[in-house]
Amino acid sequence: MHTRSFAAAALVALAVQGAAFAASHVLATGYDPMVHFVSEYALGPHAWIRRVGAAGAIGGAIALLAALRSASVAPARSTAFGLLALNAVLLLIVQIFPVDPLADAFADGGRPGFSVTGWVHVISGFIAAVAVLLAILLFTLRLKRLGRLEGGYRVLLLLSLSGPLAYGLMMVTPPATAPIGLYQRLFIVSAWLWQVLVGVGLRSGRLAGQEAESQSARA
């Protein structure tokens, strides 16, 4: 497999993630998108949809990593590559250790009352978010230095900044209150759109280097 094949696989997985994300907000889950985190959907009546979406997110991240490496955007030993790989691993851990209901964890208005499983989820989720935000920024700057951010792909710069802004707003909003859920979703959508757009660019050859393009042409 070469760049375009890896990119195609990433786009399929990311499409699964996007469809599951949308379905979670259409079905009657009993959760308020303005207040509750997306991970809380795993505790609801349609938990399997959340698990399918998480599988898509993990698969998409792994396939996109392979495509970025094949496209000579960053070597496997680079910081950006390592951060995106760390994000994929932590996303898996987040699914193994479900979150506690945030309204219950912060019921007394003081320090969070998470279970051990809940703490593993929260800490892993925080590190995963920081890792993917830094990876997106580093990969975007790398693509810019390589002269590959042309035309509509300049929006990658905007997405690399909108994600951290949304996550920062989420972090300063009191837990289990509006609009913390909205901020988290804006962060998730920004990261998802960045991955999709990069996948499209690598699939079409617009973001791939000459060596990667020639490999794909021979595949």
In a domain, 113, yes or no: no
DSSP string of 54-118, one letter each residue: HHHHHHHHHHHHHHHHHTTSS-TTSHHHHHHHHHHHHHHHHHHSPPPPHHHHTTTSSS----HHH
The tens digit of pLDDT for each residue in 123-177 reads: 999 999 999 999 999 999 999 999 999 999 999 999 999 999 999 999 999 988 9
**Would you state the pLDDT for residue 217?**
40
In a domain, 171, yes or no: yes
**Would you state the pLDDT for residue 182?**
97
**Would you state the pLDDT for residue 215?**
42
In a domain, 125, yes or no: no
Buried-state track 174-187, b at ≥16 Cβ within 10 A, e below 16: eebeeebbbbbbbb
Kindly state the percentage of the chain with pLDDT values over 70: 94
Q: Residue 87 belongs to what domain range?
A: 3-103+130-213
In a domain, 138, yes or no: yes
Mean confidence (pLDDT) of the chain: 91
**Positive/negative CA dihedral, 93, 98, 103, 108:** negative
The tens digit of pLDDT for each residue in 38-66 reads: 999 988 888 999 999 999 999 999 999 99
| Two tokens, residue 144 | 């810019």
In a domain, 123, yes or no: no
Residue 197 neighbours by CB under 8 Å, 6+ apart = 153, 155, 156, 159
Q: Which of 208, 196, 185, 209 is nearest to 156 (CA)?
A: 196
Buried-state track 54-93, b at ≥16 Cβ within 10 A, e below 16: bbbbbbbbbbbbbbbbbbebbeeebebbbbbbbbbbbbee
The tens digit of pLDDT for each residue in 67-114 reads: 999 998 888 889 999 999 999 999 999 999 999 988 788 877 667 889
In a domain, 146, yes or no: yes
Number of domains the chain is built from: 1
pTM listed for this prediction = 0.92
Residue 168 neighbours by CB under 8 Å, 6+ apart = none
In a domain, 64, yes or no: yes
pLDDT above 80: residue 11: yes
What is the rounded average pLDDT of the residues 5-29? 94
In a domain, 56, yes or no: yes
**Would you state the pLDDT for residue 213?**
44
Task: Give the model's confidence band at 184: pLDDT under 50 very low, under 70 low, under 90 confident, else very high.
Answer: very high
